[in-house]
Structure 1
Amino acid sequence: MTVAEKLLGREFHFTDSLYESAKKVFLDTIGAMLMGIGEQEQQQLIENYSSINQGNYALLKSKYSFDLLSAAFLSGVTSVAVELDEGNQWSKGHPAVHVMPVLLLYAQQNPSYSGEQFLKDLIRAYEATTYFGRITSLKKELHAHGTWGVLGAATAYAIAQNTSVEELDSVLEIASTFASPTKWEAALEGSGIRNVYVGESLEGGIKAWYLMKSKFYAPKGNMKYVFSNILGYSFDDQLEENDDFYAIERNYYKQHAFCRYAHVPLETFQQLVIRHNINPDQIEKVCVRTYERAATLENKITENSLSSKFSIPFALASWYFLKQSDHQIFREKKYLDTTIRSLAEKIEVIHDPKLDENYPDIMPAIVTILLKDGTKYEHRLNNALGGPEENFDYEDIENKFIQNTTTILSKDVQQEISKFVRNLEKEKSVKEIFDIVNRQDIT
């Protein structure tokens, strides 16, 4: 059985609960995209693109419009710019940002694309993308963005086009050509190219559909070759879909504007500090033991927003003095604060192989705080808030959306967006979301 046969042959039961999970993904991703498009680097990129590109595809809250592929690229870049997009630990990545912007672009092409159909396509595409992440064993030095996600973007666009098995098989082989040779250190070093990975995936996924329609085929076995020989160690395309649960119902949402790997250490540290009323002058050192991937977030001194979002020492130290973990601390360049840096230098991050054993079912950390008088406090957490075991309900996502877009949208527009998403299965045209967002002044 081919991958396309597995994906298109899966039976879905579109319950109210499943729809609500998709609505949470919709609202959370819209919020991340709106925040991202307001960042200085993204605005500069959009403006530069506008000087060489004109078209009919709008970006959320932007006065510029582009051709389809450029709009896809820019939508992908903005969706991950503030590190608040949802993720899924079963795929070991971020399915929503690889599929939802694609479906929003399709909605612009098709004003009759209903909210109910959008929800169904989003669920199916999300499950497919999670499957790609699950069957791929990437090389450790790669960042998951821009790799198997291009297959998700291609699947999302093909599903919206009511694809056949034969077409999707060809599209996936073609799309594999556009998987990016990513580098995990790009995030740790704060290299902006890391945010481009998703944009490339969206553009490549859509492009694959039109190449297939034009009979520009890839060699047979291209998908497995790319992901098991070039980008990964294996690509188990015979692994069955997991029908025991829907991945979209077991995802995670970010409460903190940091890489997900920093969330458990941060919340563990918070609990220790609050429980024992620890003063920073008392601290001799802090030790964070965690699993292998999270242990790479060890940089103590960071120089920009992105690298700071991938630093466990900065996450802990900044929260201690600011009692914040939202994106505002990066806009204010708190990563340059010398008081925060002095505490960050006392925080060691160590890989503990024992904590790898049940990853990604759990994403644990053990935090030990040693005081100058010799007192030692230690605590362990297995998962952060917003994860599968402590997931947010729709009201939580709504509150996050409102809080994060307060400086971007008026209260009336915020409420109208939330109402639109709440009733999405009843809406006749998803394209209306662009009209709602742009009813106030745009930049």
Structure 2
Amino acid sequence: MTTHVQRLAAFAAGCRDAGVPTEVHDDVIGRILDVLGNCLAAYADPDAAPDAESGGPGEGAAPAVLRAVRRWGGSPEATAIGSGDRLPAPSAALVNGTLAHALDFDDTHLPSVLHPSAPVVPAALTAAEAAGASGSTLIAAVAAGIEVCNRLGMASYLPEARNSLFFDKGQHATSICGTIGAAVAAGLVSGLDAGGLAHAAGIAASMGSGLLEANRTGGSVKRAHCGWAAHAGVSAAVLAAEGLTGPPTVLEGRFGFFQAWIDGRFDAGALLSGLGERWELLRTVYKPYPSNHFTHPGVDCALALRARGLDPAGIEEVELGVAAPVLRTIAEPYEEKIRPRTPYHAKFSGPYTVAAALLGGGGLGLALDDFVELDPARLALAARVRCVADERASELFPRSFAAVLRVRLADGSMLEHRVDSSRGGPEHPLSRAEQALKFRASAGRALAPDQVEALIEAAGRLPDRDGVASLARLTVVPR
């Protein structure tokens, strides 16, 4: 009897050996560019900026990871985005995956609420560079890895629970499921057959982890979750190639993945049905704002009220109604959310992000510059924002992120705006022009305009013989 991991591995091998649909192929190129843009923006982030004199890494999670891998040393196999360090593939994946997730600007799959590209693309890219794989193989590997990651997330979403079972336990599904997706992607570009891919996934299942408490009370470790998932995925693929094996029932077994993480409650149909025909990859949406995705509908409401002429100077009180399950992430503990400790912590605050949108923002509505420092005026307004559970938003969650914003003005009048699906979500996806605007703005924080355009061109030429190497070279920031 074919086990769950063996079926996923056979699907993944088919993506490489028989190719993927044109729609999926084209979509993956966009995913790769989005990740590279996020990585470059994170490399140029003020708390991660290289030291002007030494050229060494600055403060923050990504620089800490870069310092660590430099201490470890090893064979120069793959490129660290931004710095250009040549590192062992697992170490490069650790750096690049951390950069990909560091600004919380990475894409999201619904209703699993996973960020699949952040662990999978860095793992696939570094492993492909190390193996000398073709761009076409890289594209197929990213497609397969993201699909496996999303399918694992979908299996953990039970409609009667109206939430991911991982999140109910405070587990970071992205880093847990992403480790297995990363292993599949890295194994594909490394040349593993279906049997080897099953072993890589089986090994990786013992490596994934991630707790979400940092979303609530601070700490920079969450930024490294996707880096560690990418590192573990590449490592698992290498170990499988060298002969280490994984259990065939690693997913559904008595002591397997689903039993260990979510008490054996999972949807096997969501995991396996329609593989290669119905692509969960294509349901993965891009973020327009660099903040936790649960904050986005509140930002949309605030921007809409501003567009209607709301003067923030007249605001007396604000009520943000959101889905009940997201309150623990963006509204609790209350004192932490109305006065976040760091700009990164502010990305997980419903009150602060609403205040930032009401007082002005850049880019597509809120931009990276809006989270460079904590603004006193925004903090003062955030203290007037109260977050509550909204029945309609709770009904729609997590298939879409909805919110209602009610503003009471000093003259006693009330303004209200509701959204049932946030911008960038399934019903309002970003256009290709908006995706391009986001990429150019993100990558342009680290690279000159001509290098940004060259990177876009190189992504379009990925199927070329030297596509992977060309892409990697263009991610290095000149000193």
- Common fold: TM-score over 0.5: yes
AA of the residue aligned to 1:441: P
Structure 1 residue 357 corresponds to structure 2 residue 395:
yes
The equivalent position to 2:318 in structure 1, one of 268, 286, 307, is 286
SS in 2 for 1:389: coil
Q: Tell me the CA shift for residue 383 of structure 1.
A: 1.7
RMSD: 2.3
User: Distance in 2 between the 1:158 and 1:371 partners?
Assistant: 58
Q: Report the count of equivalent residues.
A: 435
- Does the 8 Å CA contact 1:285/1:347 hold for their aligned counterparts? yes
Q: 2:258 — aligned with what?
A: 228
1:185-200 counterparts in 2 under 5 A? 185-200=213-228
1:186-265 counterparts in 2 under 5 A? 186-219=214-247, 221-224=249-252, 225-233=255-263, 234-237=265-268, 239=270, 240-242=272-274, 245-265=278-298
Q: 1:33 — aligned with what?
A: 39
User: Distance in 1 between the 2:463 and 2:287 partners?
Assistant: 25
SS in 1 for 2:313: helix
Change (3 A) 1:65 1:293: farther
AA of the residue aligned to 1:329: D
Change (3 A) 1:281 1:356: same
SS in 1 for 2:388: strand
Structure 1 residue 406 corresponds to structure 2 residue 439:
no
1:256-405 counterparts in 2 under 5 A? 256-275=289-308, 277-296=309-328, 297-298=330-331, 299-324=337-362, 325-331=366-372, 333=373, 335=374, 337-405=375-443
1:119-158 counterparts in 2 under 5 A? 119-136=139-156, 137-140=165-168, 141-158=170-187
Normalising by structure 1, what TM-score?
A: 0.91
AA of the residue aligned to 1:256: Y
1:125-173 CA-partner distances (Å, limit 9, x unpaired): 2111110111123151222232111111111112223433333333222
Change (3 A) 1:381 1:4: same
Q: Tell me the CA shift for residue 433 of structure 1.
A: 0.9
Q: Tell me the CA shift for residue 344 of structure 1.
A: 0.3
Q: 1:115 — aligned with what?
A: 135
AA of the residue aligned to 1:161: S
Q: Tell me the CA shift for residue 103 of structure 1.
A: 1.3
SS in 1 for 2:321: strand
AA of the residue aligned to 1:382: D
Normalising by structure 2, what TM-score?
A: 0.84
Q: 1:64 — aligned with what?
A: 85
Change (3 A) 1:399 1:98: same
SS in 2 for 1:431: helix
- Does the 8 Å CA contact 2:40/2:445 hold for their aligned counterparts? no
- Does the 8 Å CA contact 2:105/2:287 hold for their aligned counterparts? yes
User: Distance in 2 between the 1:21 and 1:387 partners?
Assistant: 16
AA of the residue aligned to 1:202: A
User: Distance in 2 between the 1:431 and 1:166 partners?
Assistant: 28
Structure 1 residue 4 corresponds to structure 2 residue 5:
yes
- Does the 8 Å CA contact 2:39/2:100 hold for their aligned counterparts? yes
- Does the 8 Å CA contact 2:305/2:417 hold for their aligned counterparts? yes
Which range moved further: 75-84 or 213-222?
Answer: 213-222
1:332-387 CA-partner distances (Å, limit 9, x unpaired): x1x2x222111101111112354332322221111111223332222211222222
Change (3 A) 1:189 1:242: farther
Q: Tell me the CA shift for residue 48 of structure 1.
A: 4.3
Q: 2:109 — aligned with what?
A: 88
SS in 2 for 1:388: coil
AA of the residue aligned to 2:283: R
1:41-96 CA-partner distances (Å, limit 9, x unpaired): 22343134313424312211214222222222122111111111112114321111
- Does the 8 Å CA contact 1:54/1:65 hold for their aligned counterparts? no
Change (3 A) 1:238 1:75: same
SS in 1 for 2:124: helix
Q: 2:193 — aligned with what?
A: 164
Structure 1 residue 17 corresponds to structure 2 residue 23:
yes
User: Distance in 1 between the 2:34 and 2:298 partners?
Assistant: 23
SS in 2 for 1:286: strand
SS in 1 for 2:317: strand
User: Distance in 2 between the 1:177 and 1:354 partners?
Assistant: 39
Change (3 A) 1:193 1:217: same
Change (3 A) 1:427 1:166: closer
User: Distance in 1 between the 2:353 and 2:465 partners?
Assistant: 40
User: Distance in 2 between the 1:155 and 1:45 partners?
Assistant: 24
Change (3 A) 1:406 1:210: closer
Q: Tell me the CA shift for residue 9 of structure 1.
A: 4.5
User: Distance in 1 between the 2:432 and 2:458 partners?
Assistant: 13
User: Distance in 1 between the 2:211 and 2:21 partners?
Assistant: 39
Which range moved further: 423-432 or 202-211?
Answer: 423-432
Q: 2:52 — aligned with what?
A: none
User: Distance in 1 between the 2:238 and 2:443 partners?
Assistant: 35
User: Distance in 2 between the 1:349 and 1:151 partners?
Assistant: 36
Q: 1:78 — aligned with what?
A: 99
- Segments of 5+ residues of structure 1 without an aligned counterpart are none
Identity among equivalent positions (%) equals 20
Structure 1 residue 441 corresponds to structure 2 residue 478:
yes
Q: Tell me the CA shift for residue 408 of structure 1.
A: 0.8
- Does the 8 Å CA contact 1:35/1:408 hold for their aligned counterparts? yes
Change (3 A) 1:227 1:384: same
- Does the 8 Å CA contact 2:94/2:230 hold for their aligned counterparts? yes
Change (3 A) 1:98 1:52: closer
- Segments of 5+ residues of structure 2 without an aligned counterpart are 49-59, 157-164, 332-336
User: Distance in 2 between the 1:386 and 1:21 partners?
Assistant: 15
Q: Tell me the CA shift for residue 220 of structure 1.
A: 5.5
- Does the 8 Å CA contact 1:284/1:346 hold for their aligned counterparts? yes
